[in-house]
């Protein structure tokens, strides 16, 4: 089975990214042939600082290994190191339609907040479709916020296949059972997010223990007393329950049962302990791995070579099926 997912190198990574991203990457790599891509081309769709992008690309690679990716088993690479990604985005951009891109809620949200919006932000989902389809991907581990983009990738794959002949595997999204959408602790109506969130409501993976405790303690809840999962009526508590499941591996029902007779104060304190216990070893491994940038660069170079080899046949097929001539024999 082929597994593919991507993650952006800009912004500090948070517990939502851990839940929908990192922990699913580490789990799915056991199921087959896995590719995990640091999507730097996606990160320039909004204004960015070049030095920051450079530094964060290596930091993100370190975090991916620190959260359990195994360089022997999985291919971890940087999107811009494999030119097939930019090429497939052009080809698929001529298959996707303006109408379907206009319906993307992430574009509407992000574009609505800016005066000037890049063309790249609009065509972002097409680049993402190429990422996935180039690898004949069967499953894509992601968070709930990427569901619409994944559905679009499937539509583009099916359209290409029916217009030009069977070329792509149609991929399936894989979402965590609990924690597919971790919410902001201060605004439990919005997802935890680097770009759109509130820093006080966002638990960063590199936050020190005191910061985690303060953020959980001040998390917005409700005036009730029961620790039960009801996202409509009790968004804040439901979110803390899901955070607990992410930190301990328990189910929602197990967390509810364990805190049946506890108050919110005790529950919050136990949630912070569990999150701190989750993050401490990740942070220690991250510091170790990041301290050897030459080794990280070597691993990414190996990843890029493997990704080039794996994606080349599909890109070639795309060109051929679409009727392009190919350079021969020089």
Q: Where does this chain bind ligand ATP (CB under 6 A)?
A: 7-8, 11, 16-17, 19-21, 142-143, 145-146, 180-182, 191-195
Q: Is 42 in the site for ligand LTN (CB under 6 A)?
A: yes
Backbone angle region of 135, left / alpha / beta, with phi > 0 → left and psi within -120 to 50 → alpha: alpha
Contact partner, 149, from ligand ATP, ligand LTN, none, Cβ < 5-8 Å per class: ligand LTN
Contact partner, 132, from ligand LTN, ligand ATP, none, Cβ < 5-8 Å per class: ligand LTN
Q: Which of 3, 6, 35, 203 binds ligand LTN (CB under 6 A)?
A: 6
- Binding piece for ligand LTN, criterion CB under 6 A, among 53-61, 66-74, 139-147, 156-164: 139-147
The residues that bridge with 62 in the sheet, in sequence order, are none
Token pair belonging to 99: 């109408």
Contact partner, 107, from ligand ATP, ligand LTN, none, Cβ < 5-8 Å per class: none
Size of the chain, expressed as the number of residues it contains: 330
Q: Which of 29, 43, 75, 146 binds ligand LTN (CB under 6 A)?
A: 146
**C-beta of 60 vs 274, nearer to ligand LTN:** 60
**C-beta of 143 vs 236, nearer to ligand LTN:** 143
Q: Which of 33, 40, 59, 131 binds ligand LTN (CB under 6 A)?
A: 131
Q: Is 142 in the site for ligand LTN (CB under 6 A)?
A: yes
Three-state SS for 108-128 is HHHHHCCCCCCHHHHHHHHHH
Contact partner, 19, from ligand ATP, ligand LTN, none, Cβ < 5-8 Å per class: ligand ATP
List the one residue out of 219, 216, 145 whose CA is nearest residue 181.
145
Contact 92, 126 (CB under 8 A): yes
SS3 207: coil
**Whole-angstrom distance, CA of residue 199 vs CA of residue 245:** 22
Contact 14, 204 (CB under 8 A): yes
Q: Which of 8, 19, 29, 314 binds ligand LTN (CB under 6 A)?
A: 8
**Whole-angstrom distance, CA of residue 217 vs CA of residue 276:** 13
Token pair belonging to 218: 């001040």
Q: Is 128 in the site for ligand LTN (CB under 6 A)?
A: yes
**C-beta of 190 vs 262, nearer to ligand ATP:** 190
**C-beta of 39 vs 276, nearer to ligand LTN:** 39
Q: Which of 39, 63, 185, 235 binds ligand LTN (CB under 6 A)?
A: 39
List the one residue out of 160, 102, 100 whose CA is nearest residue 132.
160
**C-beta of 145 vs 273, nearer to ligand LTN:** 145
Contact 101, 126 (CB under 8 A): yes
60: buried, middle or exposed (CB in 10 Å: 19+, 13-18, 0-12)? buried
Least distance CB 58 / ligand LTN (angstroms) = 18
Beta strands in the chain (DSSP E): 2-7, 33-38, 75-78, 139-141, 172-174
Cα 75 to chain centroid distance, Å, stands at: 16
Token pair belonging to 317: 């097929």
Contact partner, 181, from ligand LTN, ligand ATP, none, Cβ < 5-8 Å per class: ligand ATP
**C-beta of 10 vs 272, nearer to ligand LTN:** 10
Q: Is 132 in the site for ligand LTN (CB under 6 A)?
A: yes
User: Under the rule (CB under 6 A), what is the footprint of ligand LTN?
Assistant: 4-8, 39, 42, 128, 131-132, 140, 142, 146, 149
């Amino acid at each position: 089975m082929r597994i593919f997912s991507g993650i952006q190198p800009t912004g500090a990574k948070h517990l939502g990214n851990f839940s929908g991203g990192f922990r699913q990457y580490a789990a799915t790599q056991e199921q087959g042939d896995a590719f995990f891509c640091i999507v730097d081309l996606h990160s320039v769709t909004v204004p960015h600082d070049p030095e920051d992008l450079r530094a964060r690309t290596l930091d993100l690679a370190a975090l991916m290994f620190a959260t359990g990716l195994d360089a022997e088993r999985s291919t971890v690479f940087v999107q811009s190191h494999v030119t097939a990604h930019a090429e497939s985005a052009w080809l698929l951009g001529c298959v996707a339609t303006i109408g379907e891109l206009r319906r993307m809620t992430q574009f509407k949200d992000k574009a609505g907040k800016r005066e000037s919006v890049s063309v790249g932000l609009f065509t972002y989902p097409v680049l993402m479709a190429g990422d996935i389809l180039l690898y004949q991907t069967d499953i894509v581990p992601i968070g709930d916020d990427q569901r619409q983009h994944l559905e679009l990738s499937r539509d583009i794959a099916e359209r290409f296949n029916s217009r030009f002949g069977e070329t792509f595997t149609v991929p399936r999204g894989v979402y965590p059972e609990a924690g597919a959408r971790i919410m902001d602790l201060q605004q439990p109506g919005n997802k935890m997010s680097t770009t759109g969130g509130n820093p006080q409501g966002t638990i960063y993976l590199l936050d020190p223990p005191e910061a985690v405790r303060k953020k959980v303690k001040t998390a917005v809840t409700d005036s009730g007393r029961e620790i039960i999962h009801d996202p409509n009526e009790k968004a804040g508590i439901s979110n803390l329950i899901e955070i607990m499941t992410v930190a301990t591996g328990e189910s929602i029902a197990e967390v509810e049962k364990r805190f049946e007779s506890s108050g919110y104060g005790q529950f919050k304190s136990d949630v912070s302990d569990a999150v701190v216990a989750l993050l401490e070893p990740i942070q220690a491994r991250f510091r170790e791995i990041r301290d050897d940038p030459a080794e990280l660069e070597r691993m990414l170079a190996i990843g890029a070579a493997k990704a080039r080899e794996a994606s080349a046949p599909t890109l070639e097929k795309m060109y051929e099926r679409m009727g392009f001539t190919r350079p021969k024999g020089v």
